[in-house]
Amino acid sequence: MARPFLYHIHDSDLFDGKADFESIEKKVPINQSPNPKKLLESKKFYSLKRDLAALRKKGAAKNICDASVTEIGKSLKGRELLAIKLGRNPDHKVLFVGCHHAREWISVELPYYLAEYLIENFDDNPTDDKGRRIKHLLVNREIWIVPMLNADGHTRTHEEDRLWRPNLRELVFDVATKIEVAKNKKRTITVAPGTYTGVDINRNYPTKTWGQETYRPGSDRRATSRDPAEGGSNSIFCGVSLDSSDPAAGPDVEPEPRALTDLMQAQKFKACMSFHSFSQEYIMPNEVKSDPFLQDHADGVKELLGRAEKELNKHYKVSRSEEFLYTTTGDQMDMYAEISPKRPTYTPELRPDQGAPDLTIFSGLPEAEIEPCFKENLRSMLSMINVAPFAEKAKRVTATASDSAPVAQVVGNSWKVFLDWKA
Ligand SMILES: [Zn+2]
């Protein structure tokens, strides 16, 4: 790509009169939250809205983009939840999502640059193996990409609070209010009168476990909370219940997870990735453990990430959600798994790793790391597109000792073709 890799913002008037794919310079708060001093630094950005519009045009000219799909709904504050739809075969649909958490800027860029990469590298008359493979993916799959689900929160991160995480929901409690938490650890929360801002939209999906609070292992520190006072910049607040008198009532779902849930229900995706940062870890549902098809694919993803590690020196772990730092409820991956059970899905936590100094976490990851981060995850993203039509075949029993368990080799071809991939 000729132009530099930069971060995207949703859009701004500053782009008026600029050419396609041109950047602007904008003052943004530094990586400090909350930011009472309004310390500012100047950074270059692209417009997600305008870059996607330009990409749709390019993709439509190659007959691999449905330019009529521009968004999947609106945010709480009315911003478009931007989308791009690629590929020619609606029988095998794949979903990529970025930016549930506003401050995780890098999570916008992987799905965005994937769309750009596929369109730029598509050729209806390919001349090499790479071109033939890209053509195969776009002719035989349908790929939905939603790079910035939390459009409101993301806007706040470059306008006033660089480390803002949830959406911008404001809840006003006029009187002290009790919330009974019935599931998991029981407790009664008393919400003091006041205004509380920010639902964690990755805790707010109407899953079977929504509303169950979770804790970091061996501590009283919550990772999912029913308490609006645990909203704000670092929100882990899962939103309010539809009916506070009914312990089984689901959440009042925010517009952003509502739009994505509706999309997942309508499209029945066969594979899905939702990006976050940080810690360099691919999280999978716990059901992988009992499903040879999913386990086999996960082993493949591990190998693909290992191959990338040889080039870019970044190690990624692949683990089940119960093995991650903490568990959550009401998250997108669980929602996907309920809608499309037994299909591959990952929540990649991108750069940096756990030991990174504070200034490089979340939105502070330097622009120079966007491209290598994209490249080290490209093989696994392509394998997710490829795996859509694959399913567990009749298990082949490997003839070894008579008492050994059957070995399922089910999805090898879905990922092995990308081992030697050159970006
Ligand atoms: Zn996140």
Residues 332, 347: Cα–Cα separation, whole Å: 9
- Burial code (b: 16+ CB inside 10 Å, e: under 16) for 138-162 equals bebbbbbbbbbbbbbbbbbbbeebb
Task: Tell me whether residue 138 is in a domain.
Answer: yes
Instruction: Give distance in angstroms: CA of 166 to centre of ligand 1.
Output: 9
| Per-residue pLDDT at 336 | 98
Instruction: Give distance in angstroms: CA of 279 to centre of ligand 1.
Output: 10
Instruction: Give distance in angstroms: CA of 191 to centre of ligand 1.
Output: 26
Instruction: Give distance in angstroms: CA of 233 to centre of ligand 1.
Output: 13
Instruction: Give distance in angstroms: CA of 399 to centre of ligand 1.
Output: 44
Residues 216, 410: Cα–Cα separation, whole Å: 35
| Per-residue pLDDT at 247 | 65
Task: Tell me which residue has tokens 């970091």.
Answer: 216
Instruction: Give distance in angstroms: CA of 349 to centre of ligand 1.
Output: 7
Instruction: Give distance in angstroms: CA of 300 to centre of ligand 1.
Output: 24
Q: Quick check: 112 and 48 in contact, CB under 8 A?
A: yes
Task: Tell me whether residue 236 is in a domain.
Answer: no
Residues 17, 190: Cα–Cα separation, whole Å: 52
Instruction: Give distance in angstroms: CA of 100 to centre of ligand 1.
Output: 6
CATH code (residue 89)? 3.40.630.10
Task: Tell me whether residue 176 is in a domain.
Answer: no
| Per-residue pLDDT at 326 | 83
Polymer length of the chain: 423
Task: Tell me whether residue 26 is in a domain.
Answer: yes
Instruction: Give distance in angstroms: CA of 104 to centre of ligand 1.
Output: 6
DSSP-assigned letters across all residues of 138-176? HHH-EEEEE--S-HHHHHHHHHT-TT--S---EEEESS-
Residues 45, 206: Cα–Cα separation, whole Å: 34
Instruction: Give distance in angstroms: CA of 277 to centre of ligand 1.
Output: 6
Tens-level pLDDT at each residue, the chain (423 residues): 579 999 999 999 999 999 999 999 999 988 665 555 577 889 999 999 999 999 999 999 999 999 999 999 999 999 999 999 999 999 999 999 999 999 999 999 999 999 999 999 999 999 999 999 999 999 999 999 999 999 999 999 999 888 899 999 999 999 999 998 877 788 999 999 999 999 999 999 999 999 999 999 888 899 999 999 999 999 999 999 988 777 678 899 999 999 999 999 999 999 999 999 999 999 999 988 888 889 889 999 999 999 999 999 999 999 998 888 788 999 999 999 999 999 999 999 999 988 776 656 788 899 999 999 999 999 999 999 999 998 876 454 444 444 444 444 456 678 899 999 998
Side-chain half-sphere exposure of 306, counting CA atoms within 13 A? 9
Instruction: Give distance in angstroms: CA of 276 to centre of ligand 1.
Output: 4
| Per-residue pLDDT at 355 | 76
Q: Quick check: 9 and 50 in contact, CB under 8 A?
A: no
Instruction: Give distance in angstroms: CA of 95 to centre of ligand 1.
Output: 17
Task: Tell me whether residue 2 is in a domain.
Answer: no
Instruction: Give distance in angstroms: CA of 365 to centre of ligand 1.
Output: 14
Instruction: Give distance in angstroms: CA of 93 to centre of ligand 1.
Output: 24
Where in the sequence is the domain holding 323, given as residue range(s)?
7-160+255-416
Q: Quick check: 104 and 362 in contact, CB under 8 A?
A: yes
- For residue 285, whether the previous peptide bond is cis, meaning omega lies within 30 degrees of 0, is no
| CA-wise closest residue to 136 among 127, 124, 153 | 124
Q: How many domains does the chain have?
A: 1
Q: Quick check: 259 and 81 in contact, CB under 8 A?
A: yes
Instruction: Give distance in angstroms: CA of 99 to centre of ligand 1.
Output: 7
Instruction: Give distance in angstroms: CA of 347 to centre of ligand 1.
Output: 9
Instruction: Give distance in angstroms: CA of 1 to centre of ligand 1.
Output: 28
Task: Tell me whether residue 182 is in a domain.
Answer: no
Backbone φ and ψ of 386, nearest 5°? -65, -35
Task: Tell me whether residue 219 is in a domain.
Answer: no
| Per-residue pLDDT at 40 | 85
Strand partners, 142: 87, 93
Task: List the shell of residues around ion ligand 1, using CB closer than 5 Å.
Answer: 101, 104, 276
Task: Tell me whether residue 58 is in a domain.
Answer: yes
Instruction: Give distance in angstroms: CA of 91 to centre of ligand 1.
Output: 30
Instruction: Give distance in angstroms: CA of 196 to centre of ligand 1.
Output: 20
| CA-wise closest residue to 282 among 133, 143, 415, 420 | 415
| Per-residue pLDDT at 30 | 80
DSSP-assigned letters across all residues of 46-60? EEHHHHHHHHHHHHH
Strand partners, 175: none
Q: Would you state the structure tokens that stand for residue 389, as one six-digit string?
A: 């039509």
Backbone φ and ψ of 230, nearest 5°? -95, 25
Residues 185, 183: Cα–Cα separation, whole Å: 6
